[in-house]
Amino acid sequence: MGEMQIPESMMALRLTGVGMDSVELQEIEVPRPEADQVLCRVECAAACASDGKIIDQGAEHSLMHGWDTAKWPVTLGHEGCVTAVEVGKMWEDKIEVGKRYAVQPAIPSAPSRYRDRYANGGRGIRKIAVGYTLPGLFAEYVVIEPEVIGCSCLVPVPDDHIPHYAAALTEPISCVVAAQQHNFHVVKDSPDTPRKAHIGLLPGGTTLLLGAGPMGLWHAEIAMTYKPKTLIISEPNAARRETAQQFFGAKAREAGINLVLATPEVLEDVIRDVTGGRGVDDCIVALGIRAIQEKSFDYLGEGGVTNLFGGVKAGEEMIQVNARRIHYESISVVGSSGSDPSDMMETMEMVADGRLEPGKYVAAVGGLDAARDLLLAVREQRMEGKGIIYPAMRRPLEEINGWSAAQETAFSGR
């Protein structure tokens, strides 16, 4: 990459209070990196249902730690691909100008800057995040803080052929990879051999997926790598069921997996039929609704595991679990939030060797001026896949049906 001209100002989508009315595209100064920071150009950024939570909750969000967005607006966006353009002295051996990185937004660290803006002076904080209190990716440029690099959360894109959108999408996909590795089963080869732990969904078992939103679709894709006998996807939205059928029908058939699409109304009957009344081995709750999290336990068979992948709103966190079923039938519950750099590297490898093609999940693209519309569309569940924003561009949100490296270059010029 030749010498890059860094402009003095840029556009950024910022949260300046609480609620969608406080999401504003603003012109701000392009920050220049100090010795412990790196300035990156944002190639693209994707929207996530989780963005809605910080918009609605502001300082109350668990990753904001009391930071008041009305006093100190934050730039949104936590999934993206960036190119390093100016590297502070401290990182010259680690980060290369002109090289691309995917951002792992969840940083297992205390904040180094602006500690007075956090509740309690930042004491006790162990996790911060890009697109929350650290500058986000719905902007033309982003300053990457030392804790991001120190925690290896700028993940190098290993291959020039990986398009920007695919690198960006390794983050949400890696949350799914990580989540499914939290399901575990205590198994035995025979009654007289010791127990052992199987990490991941049960091969040859029945996996149930609740919700076929963008994250649910990836859960279906990654679930199939565990080779369940049956994969049931429950989703009330007909268009989303149709998308799931289109994406996975043929792939499941080829892999010998029985794919069953169901509506929540008939789900119990479907599970009874498919499992002979036994219940499922793995359930993934790919939505954040308390009543459905609670209900998910009812679908489990003996030794079954439910994974609470979607987080519920603060104040709705208490659910009831049947303690007799835990005791007598060894059902269990797991959960995880986010991923770490190793999950992203694993996902990036799947993208690089073609096992995973994120392009089919891209349902809309636009310039930075479309980022707010995209967040609204995600909020109102009008998106059948992921939306990608190219911050260098000014273009309205355009619905598309899949995306490729060539289309990306034609659209963004990069």
Ligand X SMILES: NC(=O)c1ccc[n+]([C@@H]2O[C@H](COP(=O)([O-])OP(=O)(O)OC[C@H]3O[C@@H](n4cnc5c(N)ncnc54)[C@H](O)[C@@H]3O)[C@@H](O)[C@H]2O)c1
The alpha carbon of 339 is separated from its chain's Cα centroid by a whole number of angstroms, namely 8
* Minimum distance, C-beta of residue 264 to ligand X, in the bound complex (Å): 4
Give the nearest distance from C-beta 12 to ligand X in angstroms.
22
Query: Which CB atom, from 91 or from 403, has the smaller least distance to ligand X?
Result: 403
Using CB under 6 A as the binding rule, the residues of this chain from 169 to 188 that contact ligand X are 172, 175, 179
Does 213 interact with ligand X (rule: CB under 6 A)?
Answer: yes
76, 95, 168, 212: which one contacts ligand X (CB under 6 A)?
A: 212
Strands 258-262 and 230-234: parallel
CB of 144 to ligand X, least distance (A): 21
Amino acid symbol at 401? N
58, 80, 216, 359: residue in contact with ligand X (rule CB under 6 A): 216
Size of the site for ligand X (CB under 6 A): 30
Q: Give Cα 244 distance to the centre of its chain.
A: 18
Decide: is 166 part of the binding site for ligand X (CB under 6 A).
no
CB atoms under 10 Å from CB of 174, counted, come to 27
Q: Is 240 in the site for ligand X (CB under 6 A)?
A: yes
Query: Residue 69 corresponds to which tokens in the numbers above?
Result: 């967005």
Nearest residue (CB) to ligand X, 37 versus 170: 170
Measured distance CA(266)–CA(278) in Å, rounded? 16
Q: Which two three-digit tokens encode residue 134?
A: 């650290």
**Residue 14: closest CA among 98, 136, 122:** 136
Residues 309-328 that bind ligand X (CB under 6 A): 309-311
> Within 10 Å of residue 186's Cβ, how many Cβ atoms?
12
Q: Out of 111, 131, 288, 358, name the contact with ligand X by CB under 6 A.
A: 288
Closest to 76 (Cα-Cα) out of 129, 132, 34, 115: 132
- Shortest distance in whole angstroms from residue 337 CB to ligand X: 5
* For ligand X, the closer CB: 40 or 286: 286
Binding-site string for ligand X from residue 261 to residue 280, where x marks contact by CB under 6 A and - marks none: ---x----------------
CB closer to ligand X out of 287 and 350: 287
Neighbouring C-beta atoms of residue 168, cutoff 10 Å: 28
381 binds ligand X (CB under 6 A): yes
Q: How far is the CB of 291 from ligand X (least distance, A)?
A: 8
Q: Is 62 helix (H, G, I), strand (E, B) or coil?
A: coil
33 DSSP 8-state letter: P
Compute φ and ψ for 233, nearest 5 degrees: -115, 120
Minimum distance, C-beta of residue 41 to ligand X, in the bound complex (Å): 25
Q: Is 211 in the site for ligand X (CB under 6 A)?
A: yes
Binding-site member from 50, 170, 332, 347 for ligand X (CB under 6 A): 50
Tokens 């909750």: give the residue: 57
The reply to whether 46 sits near ligand X by the rule CB under 6 A is no
Measured in degrees and rounded to the nearest 5, phi and psi for residue 292 equal -80, -35
Question: With binding defined as CB under 6 A, does residue 337 bind ligand X?
Answer: yes
Give the nearer residue to ligand X in terms of CB position, either 150 or 311: 311
Residue of 293, 341, 335, 308 whose CA lies nearest to 182: 335
Question: Contact at 8 Å (CB) between 255 and 224?
Answer: yes
Stretch that binds ligand X, among 83-91, 145-153, 204-212, 250-258 (CB under 6 A): 204-212
Contacts (CB under 6 A) with ligand X, residues 340-379: none
Distances (CA, A) of 36 to 32, 118, 378, 392: 11, 21, 35, 26
Distance, in Å, from the CA atom of 405 to the CA atom of 384, rounded to the nearest integer, reads 20
Shortest gap between Cβ of 371 and ligand X (angstroms)?
16
Minimum CB distance to ligand X, residue 99 (Å): 26
Residues of this chain that interact with ligand X (CB under 6 A) are 48-50, 172, 175, 179, 210-216, 234-237, 240, 264, 286-288, 292, 309-311, 336-338, 381
